[in-house]
Amino acid sequence: MKNTRRNFVKNTLAAGVGVSFLNSCNTAPTETKNTYPDYTDLDEALKKPVLKKQLFKDQVIIESCELLEYNGNYMCRVRSQEGAEGYCVGHNIRMPHLYPMQTQRINPFFVGKDARDLDKLVEDVLLFQNNYKYQGYTLWIPLATVEMAILDMLGHIAKKSTGELIGDIHHTDIAIYQANNNRGKSAEESIENIKKLQQETNAKAVKFKIGGRRNIPEHPAGRTEKLIPLMRKNFGEDIAIYADCNGSYEAEEAIRIGKLLENNEIDLFEQPVPTDYYEDWKRVAENLTIPIGSGGGEVSIRNFRWLIATNSVHMVQQDLFYFGGMIRSMKVARMAAAKGLVCTPHISGTGLGYLYMMQFVSVLPNAGPYHEFKGISTNIPFECNTSTLVPKDGKIKLPTGYGNGVTIDPDFIKKHRIITA
């Protein structure tokens, strides 16, 4: 096997932050029977502010924070007292169920606040109306929607991209991987679907689904065992291959499947066990050499802290929406960097999620080598003068405009109604 491909995470990280991923992957866990993990470096990373408040000399008081809807598209619009605006297209799959949280428990908290205090506001919103009782997707998706709209607004005020508000630019071209999200297909059909997507963009990495998701039996039966060896045979040595499990197994079966992945030279095992099976995460990592990816389901900074400190994951994959926005996600990325791990954020397949992912990845010194691309949104009319946002030779050029780097069609925005209930 080619070392340049098999050690793709190690090589990427070594070039970016000078830490060996392989050491963190294979070193015995910090935790032992009579001790706790050493969190010193992680806690130092968590203390650092994310938003560059020094970019703003004057207060930026939020005058209004609204949720808009049109034909199933949800957007958050924030306005400052000086008339600056920012937008975030929401998670349109989840928002039909969550919009009361957005309008009643999240948006009102931000009105009248100074947007420069965004780091603190993201924490303080937990105490507003006892919101901490709703922690998880229910709270984090609405919070992320407001936060990214505020960052868009602040970017226009400071004449900076969203990424530049929370870090320094490290990546202006984002290398992508193509994923097949369809279970229920035969191994042969799955291969053909992934090949088609990969050839359209010339991506240098692909991801395929295994297992049945949680405890659902996979269909067709035996698909995983048949598909795994076909992946490397069909894509050769020069393509990085990720396997996404979506928490389909408990520890014993995850270890068995993981060894099959290792034997077939697969490069990453994503979410081998359910998100909250923490003992299983640790056991799986201790018994495999393939890097373990966290998947996008984790919603707790505290739990990520434990997973990282105990070497239970080797790549963090927090979802910008599911995890509550860029500030919270950056804290996890910094903890990962402190332990020599990479960050490949999960992307929700809705709206402009891929655009927000690019802004976030652009400022990660420990970004993974490839990032998920689910296609250009055709439901949101927008203009981008600095990038086609179309992959070329497996990479997408980062937009360099202010805020999120795109302008949503004003006529499209006018069609939306303000949700008040």
- Tally the C-alpha atoms within 13 A of residue 340's C-alpha that lie toward its C-beta: 16
Statement: residue 21 has pLDDT above 50: no
| Same domain, yes or no: 135 and 76 | yes
Question: Which of 236, 177, 174, 249 lies closest to 210 in space, CA to CA?
Answer: 249
Considering the chain, what percentage of its residues have pLDDT values greater than 70?
92
User: In DSSP terms, which residues pair with 1 in a beta bridge?
Assistant: none
CATH of the domain at 99: 3.30.390.10
Statement: residue 417 has pLDDT above 60: yes
Q: What is the mean pLDDT of the chain?
A: 92
Statement: residue 398 has pLDDT above 70: yes
| Same domain, yes or no: 271 and 295 | yes
| Same domain, yes or no: 335 and 242 | yes
| Same domain, yes or no: 367 and 243 | yes
- Backbone conformation region of residue 312, classed left if phi is above 0, alpha if psi is from -120 to 50, else beta: alpha
Statement: residue 27 has pLDDT above 50: yes
pLDDT at 63: 98
AA identity, residue 119 = D
| Same domain, yes or no: 202 and 67 | no
How many domains does the chain contain in total?
2
- Judge if the upstream peptide bond of residue 29 is cis by omega within 30 degrees of 0: no
| Same domain, yes or no: 216 and 158 | no
| Same domain, yes or no: 371 and 272 | yes
Across residues 376-399, what is the average pLDDT?
93
How many angstroms separate the CA atoms of 85 and 383, rounded? 17
DSSP 324: T
Statement: residue 26 has pLDDT above 60: no
pLDDT at 3: 54
pLDDT at 6: 54
Could you tell me the pTM of the whole model? Answer: 0.92
User: Which residue segment(s) compose the domain that 268 sits in?
Assistant: 3-45+164-404
| Same domain, yes or no: 228 and 333 | yes
H/E element, 78 = strand 73-80
| Same domain, yes or no: 298 and 393 | yes
| Same domain, yes or no: 176 and 309 | yes
Q: What is the pLDDT of residues 294-313, one digit of tens each?
A: 999 999 999 999 999 999 99
| Same domain, yes or no: 156 and 273 | no
Backbone φ and ψ of 352, nearest 5°: -110, 30
* Comparison of pLDDT for 50 and 11, the residue scoring more: 50
